[in-house]
Homo-oligomer: A and B are copies of this chain.
Amino acid sequence: LRSERQLTEWLRKKCGIPAGSEVVLGIGDDCAIYRPRGSRDDLLFTTDLFLEDVHFLRRTHTAADAGRVAISRGLSDIAAMGGEPRFVLVSLSVPTWADGKWVRSFFRALTARTGTCGAVLAGGDLSHSEKLACDVVVCGAVPKGKALLRSGAQPGDAIYVSGRLGGSALGLETEAGKAWKRHVTPEPRVAVGREIRTRLRATACIDISDGLSLDLERLCLASNLAAEITEPPIFPGATLGHALHGGEEYELLFTVPETVRVPSRVAGVSLTRIGQTTSGKAGQILFQGERMKPLGYDHFRLK
């Protein structure tokens, strides 16, 4: 295994969606899309693993931190498609070191987040193991045919990012202060996603989970475009490297037609133009005129 992309591509080819399937979008975007017979909505599905020593450390995360981070990944994927979260399923393998109090605190923090978004915990699975293993599924809804995809950008669209980048990566290094707080209490941009879909006529969107450089490459590859960007807004104290390549930001990266007037804030979050798409080689990113490699996070890169 050399990269996630290689395995994902193999799976995508192997698991072609047959014509007429109610699955209208399969592997390769932030969510799969399912269109039930007769339904007015398309349903968005995302599933995210949350594993001890991979996605969090027992030493640094409280139970509430863990619950919040576990649910944020999925909510952010729903936000990236402009959807409204409806329900979640949580599979949790309780580690030997956790007692009932820890588990209840984990679920309290997780369901507080879903409650804020109007979603309910509808089911799950329980198991036990040495280390904590968790998988969170989020289902969201969007009016039929209206989901924001990675693949809809057009040449010459303006590229925007929500919020400021690099805080989560900085927090992971320092384990202190506002940056650490940002790392363990991410704020999925559900309201922002809905607004950019309905009011800003966004053409494409992705959430920044593995770093701006890698996620912008993904958006460009899906849209068969290149991009030129400048410096994104940077979280106080973070470096340019943190902002360009740091993961777990859960900000939205999106494109709008050049003619759309984009407000500087939406749903309390700043929106900043960082560049535009071009008709160059698919996936090629120029940062301040220079080629930028996607250095974001890939689980298999070191293998």
Interface residues of A (CB under 8 A from B): 1, 4, 7-8, 10-11, 14-15, 17-18, 21-23, 25-27, 31-32, 34, 36-41, 43, 45-49, 51, 53-55, 86-87, 89-91, 93-94, 99-100, 103-104, 107-108, 111, 120-130, 133, 135, 137, 139, 141, 299-300, 303
Q: Report the bound CA distance from A48 to B122 in whole Å.
A: 14
Please state if A49 and B17 are interface contacts (CB–CB under 8 Å).
Answer: no
Please state if A54 and B129 are interface contacts (CB–CB under 8 Å).
Answer: yes
Given A38-B39, A38-B41, A54-B93, 12 additional A-B pairs, CB 8 A: A11-B107, A25-B122, A34-B87, A34-B122, A36-B43, A45-B122, A47-B135, A49-B135, A53-B130, A89-B137, A91-B135, A135-B135
Q: Report the bound CA distance from A137 to B90 in whole Å.
A: 10
User: A141: which B residues are within 8 A, CB to CB?
Assistant: 36-37
User: A21: which B residues are within 8 A, CB to CB?
Assistant: 120
Please state if A27 and B125 are interface contacts (CB–CB under 8 Å).
Answer: no
Other-chain contact of A137, B10, B17, B51, B137 (Cβ < 8 Å): B137
Please state if B11 and A121 are interface contacts (CB–CB under 8 Å).
Answer: yes
Other-chain contact of A40, B37, B51, B87 (Cβ < 8 Å): B37
Please state if B128 and A299 are interface contacts (CB–CB under 8 Å).
Answer: yes
Please state if A299 and B41 are interface contacts (CB–CB under 8 Å).
Answer: no
User: A124: which B residues are within 8 A, CB to CB?
Assistant: 11, 27, 47
Q: Report the bound CA distance from A122 to B27 in whole Å.
A: 6
Q: Report the bound CA distance from A133 to B53 in whole Å.
A: 13
Other-chain contact of A91, B22, B49, B99 (Cβ < 8 Å): B49
* A300 and B123 contact, Cβ closer than 8 Å, known pairs A53-B129, A87-B23, A129-B54: no
By beta carbon, the residue of chain B nearest A139 is B34
Q: How far is the CB of A252 from chain B (nearest CB, A)?
A: 19
User: A90: which B residues are within 8 A, CB to CB?
Assistant: 47
Q: Report the bound CA distance from A54 to B135 in whole Å.
A: 16
A-B contact pairs, 25 of them (CB 8 A): A8-B126, A11-B107, A11-B121, A11-B124, A15-B121, A23-B87, A23-B120, A27-B121, A32-B122, A32-B123, A36-B39, A36-B40, A37-B40, A38-B40, A38-B41, A47-B89, A49-B91, A49-B125, A49-B127, A53-B129, A53-B130, A89-B137, A128-B299, A128-B300, A135-B135
